[in-house]
Structure 1
Amino acid sequence: MESDDEDLVGEGSLTAEEEAELVDLIQDLIGLMLSVRIEAEPPVPGVAERLARQIRMGIGEPDCRIQVSDDGADAVLGPMRLDADDSAGALRSAMITLGGSWGDVVNITTSTDPVHYANRAAVDGPDEAGVARIHLWAANAWDLARYIEEHS
Structure 2
Amino acid sequence: MQNNDEIGEHTGEARLSAAEAEELFSLMSDLGALMVSVKVEAETPVAGAAVRLAERIRTRLGQPDCRIQDDNDGADAVLGPVSGCSDDPGSVLRAAMTALGGIWGDVTVTTNSSGPVHYVIRAAEQSPQGDGPTRIHLWAASGWALVRSIENLS
TM-score (normalizing by structure 1): 0.81
* Corresponding position of 2:120: 118
How far off is 1:147 after superposition?
0.6
Alignment of 1:24-103 (within 5 A): 24-103=26-105
How far off is 1:33 after superposition?
0.5
Larger Rg: 2
* Corresponding position of 2:127: 127
The one-letter code of the counterpart of 1:128 is P
The one-letter code of the counterpart of 1:150 is N
* Corresponding position of 1:150: 152
Does residue 138 of structure 1 match 2:140?
A: yes
SS at match of 2:103: coil
The one-letter code of the counterpart of 1:141 is G
How far off is 1:14 after superposition?
7.9
Aligned residues: 138
The one-letter code of the counterpart of 2:48 is G
Q: Following the alignment from structure 2 to structure 1, what is the Cα–Cα distance between the partners of residues 123 and 146? A: 23
> Which stretch has the larger CA shift, 98-107 or 87-96?
98-107
TM-score (normalizing by structure 2): 0.80
Q: Following the alignment from structure 1 to structure 2, what is the Cα–Cα distance between the partners of residues 41 and 16? A: 47
SS at match of 1:136: strand
Aligned-residue sequence identity (percent) comes to 54
Note if contact 1:107-1:115 (Cα within 8 Å) is conserved in structure 2.
Answer: yes
- Structure having the higher strand fraction is 2
SS at match of 2:31: helix
* Corresponding position of 1:9: none
Structure 1: stretches of 5+ with no match in the other structure: 1-12
> Which stretch has the larger CA shift, 97-106 or 137-146?
97-106
Alpha-carbon distance change, 27 to 41 in structure 1, aligned in 2, over 3 angstroms: same
1:16-72 Cα distance to aligned partner (Å, 9 max, x none)? 545533431232111110000001012221211110101111111111110111332
Q: CA RMSD in A?
A: 2.0
Note if contact 1:58-1:97 (Cα within 8 Å) is conserved in structure 2.
Answer: yes
Note if contact 1:116-1:139 (Cα within 8 Å) is conserved in structure 2.
Answer: yes
